[in-house]
Amino acid sequence: MRLLKKQVDDFLIYENVELSILVAIRMEDQKKIKKYWKSKDKSAVEATISGFPFIQTEEQESLKIEFSKKQEYEIVNLKKFN
């Protein structure tokens, strides 16, 4: 029997409150977000993070991650989506 392993490319979902869209951020990049919020001098820490936007699909009437549109987002505008 084959064992399923945790994938390296797991994503967390954040909401960009300025643009009102959902963004998929790689789990390993969450360290940058935590580092930003813990730092007292925000200007000394990187303030942007790369992610992939969610788009509406008409075929399935649902959201999907658009991997071809990697963009930079400001960490200040990101809020974890529950």
For the chain, helix (H) and strand (E) counts, in that order, are 1, 6
Domain chopping of the chain, boundaries: 11-80
28-82 tens-digit pLDDT = 888 899 999 888 887 778 889 999 999 998 888 889 999 999 999 999 999 999 7
CB 73 within 8 A of CB 52: no
Q: What is the pLDDT of residue 9?
A: 62
CB 47 within 8 A of CB 34: no
Q: How many CA atoms lie within 13 A of 74 on its CB side?
A: 7
- Rounded to whole angstroms, how far apart are CA atoms 30 and 16? 15
- H-assigned helices in the chain: 30-38
